[in-house]
Amino acid sequence: MADRYGDPHELVKSLAYSDYPRRPGHFPISRPDPRKPHGASDQYLVLDTAQCEENRPERGEFRFNIVPQRAAVGRTVGVRDTLKTVTEIQTFPFTVPLPLLVAAPTSYPTLTLAANAGATNPYADTDPVGGLSSQLAQGTRVTLYLTEAGEQCFHDFKGRRHLFEYEASLVGTVANPDARMLLTPVNDIFIFTQPITDMHGITMRFFTPDEELRLPPDEFRNVQLTTNGAGRIIINITDLRYNLTNIIKSGDRIFLDGAQVVASAGSTTRVRELNDFLSRPDGLCVGANITASTLDTDPSIVPAAFGANVSLPTLGSITLRVAKNRIRAPFRIRRIIEGVTNYIEPN
């Protein structure tokens, strides 16, 4: 029948659109009219946790706000055009920070990075990707679900869902700050049964694949700066969910956003130089003095060395970013639009 009368699916669409001007409510206005030129249009974007609107790394969840027709500004992801009538998404290899370890079975089930595990921990030398204390107990596989896909996905054990599955591997040496987990797609393209009408945002959720993949945070908001008895600047975090000794090592690269000190009254000092040092584009290195909620830098930052008598920033103005824990995940998103494109007859 298809050879004689054409594709029945396309015939039904044409008939449905035949009285479209008289009944505009018959089909969603966002769908392209099959009688007009139409084709596939690809959007490329990188979901970067530095632009994340809301993140819950302890649950492996990262939410991004998509802003069409503009460049990325602040905590938004810019795209060339709207993400309407999305028919498929393609993922590419990317890296994520090393997952937090499950503690030794004989102790309270806290989490710590392999590189920070103490000598008394029998799992201290375990690979956090494929070792005994890794969260990936079901094998070196990680899955990713985009909540905007709804029920159009693979359905997993325990009610979990995913669009993509990745083979996880260790990059670098656990003891070094550059160690990461590489995620290589097993299936790199997901084609939707029904087009996603409109995507105003994208929420990534990582799984083990049975449980939420718990990752270390790439930023701490509402950081405070104080000085110790030696006049050195100390960085204090206020998020008590984390113990810095389990997450950050001496030598790690960090960035301070919004760290601007103010000269005290009557002080004629080199405050600008101090502020330029605090917000260096190359970042700062973590020093040797790390506690559960504080850390210093190497070299130490001493305001007096700049001849500075300053007032330190108030709570809420500074964000501490941890370079090694940042995620940058690239995607290609295909849409069907009216108009001539590079793909005249998309599949």
- pLDDT tens digit sequence for 179-230: 899 999 999 999 998 888 888 889 999 999 999 999 999 999 888 888 887 8
- How buried is residue 10: exposed, middle or buried, by Cβ count under 10 Å (0-12/13-18/19+)? exposed
Structural contact between residues 66 and 48, judged by C-beta atoms closer than 8 angstroms: no
At residue 96 the predicted structure's pLDDT band, cuts being 50, 70 and 90, is very high
Q: Which two tokens stand for residue 58?
A: 């302890």
User: What is the pTM for the complete model shown?
Assistant: 0.78
Structurally, how many domains does the chain consist of? 3
Residue 92 phi, psi (nearest 5): -135, 165
Q: With a cut of 50, say whether residue 108 has pLDDT above it.
A: no
The span from the CA of 323 to the CA of 53, in Å, is: 18
> What domain range is 231 assigned to?
219-325
What's CA 176's distance to the chain center, in Å?
A: 22
Q: What is the pLDDT of residue 259?
A: 84
The number of residues in the chain equals 347
CA 198 to CA 31: how far, in whole Å?
A: 10
Give the burial class of 162: count Cβ atoms within 10 A of its Cβ; 0-12 exposed, 13-18 middle, 19 or more buried. buried
| Same domain, yes or no: 165 and 83 | yes
Same domain, yes or no, for 44 and 59? yes
Q: Among residues 102, 87, 57, 49, which one has the least CA distance to residue 205?
A: 57
Nearest to 99 by CA among 186, 183, 184: 183
Q: pLDDT, tens digit, for every residue of 243-264?
A: 898 888 888 999 999 888 877 6
The secondary structure of residue 17, as a DSSP letter, is H
Chain-centroid distance, C-alpha 253? 18
CATH code of the domain containing 332:
2.60.120
Same domain, 140 and 182: yes
Residues 45 and 129 in one domain: yes
Beta partners for residue 42, in sequence order: 334
Question: 130 and 8, same structural domain?
Answer: no
Return the closest-CA partner of residue 140 out of 208, 44, 241.
208
Task: Note whether 166 and 313 are same-domain residues.
Answer: no
Residue 99 and residue 9 in one domain: no
Is 257 found in the same domain as 183?
A: no
Q: Are residues 315 and 166 in the same domain?
A: no
Same domain? For 254 and 203 the reply is: no
**Residue 82 pLDDT level (bands cut at 50, 70, 90):** confident
In angstroms, rounded to a whole number, what is the distance separating the alpha carbons of residues 23 and 173?
63
Task: Please check whether residues 100 and 150 belong to one and the same domain.
Answer: yes
Residues 6+ away with beta carbon under 8 Å from 99: 128, 129, 134, 135, 136, 181, 213, 214, 215
Return the higher-pLDDT residue of 8 and 235: 235
Q: Write down the pLDDT at residue 328.
A: 95
Q: Do 158 and 292 belong together in one domain?
A: no
Distance CA 82, CA 104 (A): 48
Burial class of 265 by CB neighbour count within 10 A (0 to 12, 13 to 18, 19+): exposed
